[in-house]
Chain A
Amino acid sequence: DQQVKQNSPSLSVQEGRISILNCDYTNSMFDYFLWYKKYPAEGPTFLISISSIKDKNEDGRFTVFLNKSAKHLSLHIVPSQPGDSAVYFCAASNFNAGGTSYGKLTFGQGTILTVHP
């Protein structure tokens, strides 16, 4: 049962434009959400996160939006650059649950972003 879903396997964007990556989740107990970026032959690297008490978090060109009622989050990259081309993973956790859920991140399948010059 896939609790975190990224329904778009790939996205292609022109340099300078906005990239919007989407993620849906089913577990209403998730209270922390993260985005990771992965280049080929490397491990994923942490990009940005958001707590469920917020609906937006911004870090430079990257903004994450959370819509709890829709169980949906999105990552906006503005402006997109060729160096942003990578696989982007959405992840979620039940941070406040304690027990075996604490610290455990559930990841989506990933979206391949290609930014064309």
Chain B
Amino acid sequence: DAGVIQSPRHEVTEMGQEVTLRCKPISGHDYLFWYRQTMMRGLELLIYFNNNVPIDDSGMPEDRFSAKMPNASFSTLKIQPSEPRDSAVYFCASSLRGHGGGEGYTFGSGTRLTVV
């Protein structure tokens, strides 16, 4: 398996523009997570899905953020409108059975978002 695939790897956009981040989880994994990494807060959970259904979106910062998982092999995280404080690295991760009792998640390589 190619692992968790995220696109794009880098995104530079102007404030106010819509940004869409994409993720393809590992085939067969039933959980998908979106995390954001910043220096101040480390890795923050934004939202996660189980069998394509959103389970917990309490980490989504504002209504400007939305996430979807239309099928088991694809998820998007959208920011509209984007702001400079959204600049961060966004990670997607997938797993089997939650964190599998210690097996952990498999993370993608991340999307580095810069909003100018």
Considering only residues 31-69 of chain B, those with a C-beta below 8 Å from chain A are 31, 33, 35, 39-45, 48, 50, 55-56, 58
Q: How large is the interface on A (under 10, 10 to 19, 20 to 34, 35 or more residues)?
A: 20 to 34
A107 and B104 contact, Cβ closer than 8 Å, known pairs A43-B91, A95-B99: no
Give Cα A55–Cα B99 distance, bound, in whole angstroms: 20
Contact partner of A103 (CB less than 8 A), chosen from B48, B106, B108, B110, is B48
Is B7's CB within 8 Å of the partner chain A? no
Q: Which residues of B contact A (CB under 8 A)?
A: 4, 31, 33, 35, 39-45, 48, 50, 55-56, 58, 91, 93, 95, 97-99, 101-110
Q: Which residues of A contact B (CB under 8 A)?
A: 2, 6, 32, 34, 36, 41-46, 49-51, 89, 91, 93, 95, 100, 102-110
- Smallest distance from the beta carbon of B72 to chain A beta carbons, Å? 16
Give Cα A44–Cα B89 distance, bound, in whole angstroms: 12
**30 pairs, A vs B, C-beta closer than 8 Å:** A2-B41, A32-B99, A32-B102, A34-B99, A34-B102, A41-B109, A42-B109, A43-B108, A43-B109, A44-B107, A46-B105, A46-B106, A49-B102, A49-B103, A50-B102, A51-B102, A89-B42, A89-B43, A91-B43, A95-B99, A100-B56, A102-B98, A103-B55, A103-B95, A104-B45, A104-B48, A104-B98, A105-B99, A109-B39, A110-B43
